[in-house]
Amino acid sequence: MFSLKTYTSKFANIIWWKLFERKRTLSARILKMRHPEFTQITENNVKEVLDSVDTVLLDCDGVLWRGEDAIPGSPETVRMLRAMGKQPVFLTNYSILSRKELMEKFTHLGYDVREEEIYSSATLAGLYLQSHLQTDETVFVLGSQGLHDEIESFGVKVAPLDSEDHVFDIQSLTETLKIDPKIGAVVVAFDINFNYRKLLRAANILSKESTHFLVTNEDPRLPSNDGWIVPDCGCLIESVIKATKRTPTVLGKPNKFAWDFISKRFHVNPERTIMIGDSLNTDILFGYNCGIRRSLVLSGISSYADVTNRIDEVKHHPNAEKWIPNYYIQSLGTIAKCLWSLGLYEPDPDGDVCSDSASDETIEDRVDPWVSQPGTSSANGICHRKEVITTV
Amino acid sequence: MSRAKELTKQLLRQFVDSFDTILFDCDGVLWQSNDVISKTPALIAKLRDMGKQPLFVTNNSTKSRRQYMEKFAKLGFKVSENEIFCTAYLAAIYLRNILNFQGKAYLIGSPGMQEEFKLFDINYTGTGPDPVTGEVEDWVKIPLDPEIKAVVIGQDVQFSYKKILLAATYIRDRTVSFVATDHEGRHPHQAAKIVEPGTGSIVSAVETAAGRDALVLGKPHKFMVDLIKEKFTLEPRRTVMVGDRLNTDIQLGKNADLHTLLVLTGVSKLSDVDSNLESSDPTDRECIPDYYIESLTKLTEYLSDF
């Protein structure tokens, strides 16, 4: 039944929605003008982007998995990339597992991967030491057993992990400290057994200037929940730097050390390569340092707002450009979804490309609704939309 | 930006007349590890005879004032406990008198610090070895202690990854104070040719994990001098700081407007003074001692004719 109140209310809603759309469109337009490169990957451009690349470098944590769970749609996307003739390469700063152990994780989570496609920072340590140490030199490792095993798999001798009881008196320790002159390198990585005694040993081994000082990555913290801070390698590095006044060689992202090995091994054309990761500070900066395109996924560490902040910074600090990705996408699985909805790809019926569990639940938490991307839906993800709302 | 002058016999009168109070760093100045630097006990006695007030200011947090008294006595010095300003004492005083501390402190520190904390009736936890059992996943299930209202860091040979994790998590709450005795990264032991990682290497790890800087109580920060002024007459322009490290001892002198004397029996060398003069950092360029001398042994010899 018609009522003035209902009519007024509906009219008000239409006006409100139109204003909302106008502001959203205007904001997105302004954003694109400020930084034309920062483009969402959608059904409109996904084919064009994929046709322009042969090699896809993929970060792991926050892109392929979170902790021990695969991110929905990611295994499907990796299979699809391979089916399209793309070469995936997996590049992670994670140093805890050897390549063999990482393969087991990939397989367990449903990924189709070859061992030689995996470059963890443990692998990079092995590669570096293999080419820089003399055959009789050893390495002192502050890290996990997995790192120890990975380095040894490259034929490099590792000094046994120091697992002695660290209750001691500093006076007697300094009198009995013996440094093996054959130690040619120190590697600092994530190490829950890090302690003062190891720090003392590392500091004294590194007194010899010719000893290599390597670190796997500089990340200060691991992702964690419930308010706990879980320190990563970056903290232990600061300890060793303060105690030695030496600057380490950083093997992992954003340092481009891995690029030399990857580009030779896979005969990579930089112009036809893309780096996909979840962290501006490691993945996106790595891509910039290697001179390749880079895409941020919003299923991990960095948020949409983190990028817009960098875009704002560029006005005053042009350097901030290095942290701005060329593209962004909700998650890796969105690529497969987009191709499916374009009819370009048949998903595995047992996969999870378009199931409810594959909805991009993270985007709502992270996105400012006044600067929303085109085409987002709070319900079931892109593949269930009838149309894509475009902006400019 | 004047160059440092060598303290020669000719400049001795000018030097001696410039101060009433003389602050001494200890490691590398009066002793090296457990070996006294020759004639320094006699120097202290002579200065007292001349009407000067010697005071002892050290960033070394491993000993309480009582333990320092024992070391001074063992090495032949006559010193009163109230003349000793060590960072274990500073940390306890800071919590008790400045913060008016209630609650518990998470302490990464040596038995010397624990002794000072007990003397000032400060409740603390976390000291000693924290054995690594299980995985990180297990540790993050243990509930945090809600009584902890401060994290205090000094030198700790039981320092470990687990302590970084706990300390950093506690100071996530900005209402929890975060204090360090000093920020010295390393202590070279000349005789043994060994480097001992310092408190700075421990504090840096926690600061990096938490993304938060500690309040540093020891040199070069002025807290020590402010504390001394409460107990002794200290006129900055009538005070000289004698030390072996440019970035702590001499920098404290600059921060508190004291005269400064660098001794070359410790960490800093004349080449470090030259590097500072040529540095692009203005703080470094200002951190030049007024005088330098090879050792306090030499100063004692000069003063013997006084």
Which of chain A's residues have a Cβ under 8 Å away from the Cβ of B211? 220
Complex ipTM more than 0.85, yes or no:
yes
Condensed to tens digits (0 to 9), the pLDDT of residues B72-81 reads: 999 999 999 9
* Neighbour tally for B231: CB within 10 Å: 11
Q: Give the DSSP H or E segment for B165.
A: helix B161-170
The span from the CA of B78 to the CA of B178, in Å, is 35
Tokens linked to A72: 């929905």
pTM of the predicted structure, to 2 decimals: 0.85
Reading chain A (392 residues) residue by residue, the pLDDT tens digits are 556 656 566 666 667 666 655 555 555 555 444 455 789 999 999 999 999 999 999 999 999 999 889 999 999 999 999 999 999 999 999 999 999 999 999 999 999 999 999 999 999 999 999 999 999 999 999 999 999 999 999 999 998 655 454 445 556 666 567 788 899 999 999 999 999 989 999 999 999 999 999 999 999 988 776 788 999 999 999 999 999 999 999 999 999 999 999 999 999 999 999 999 999 999 999 999 999 999 999 999 899 999 999 989 888 888 889 999 999 999 999 999 999 888 887 766 665 554 433 344 443 343 332 222 333 332 222 222 222 222 22
Tell me if residue A112 is catalytic: no
Condensed to tens digits (0 to 9), the pLDDT of residues A108-129 reads: 999 999 999 999 999 999 999 9
The span from the CA of B79 to the CA of B73, in Å, is 8
The span from the CA of A217 to the CA of A219, in Å, is 6
pLDDT band at B7 (very low <50, low <70, confident <90, very high): very high
- Contact between A209 and A192 under an 8 Å Cβ cutoff? The reply is no
Instruction: Count how many residues are written for chain A.
Output: 392
Nearest chain B alpha carbon to A199: B197
Collapsing DSSP to helix, strand or coil, A53 comes out as coil
**Cis peptide leading into residue A270 (ω within 30°):** no
Which of chain A's residues have a Cβ under 8 Å away from the Cβ of B192? 174-175
Q: Compare CB distances from A177 to B129, B156, B194 and report the shortest one's residue.
A: B194
The span from the CA of A105 to the CA of A73, in Å, is 17
A243 touching chain B per CB within 8 A? yes
Do the chains contact at A236 and B161, CB–CB below 8 Å?
yes
Query: Distance (Å) from the C-alpha of residue B242 to the closest C-alpha of chain A?
Result: 24
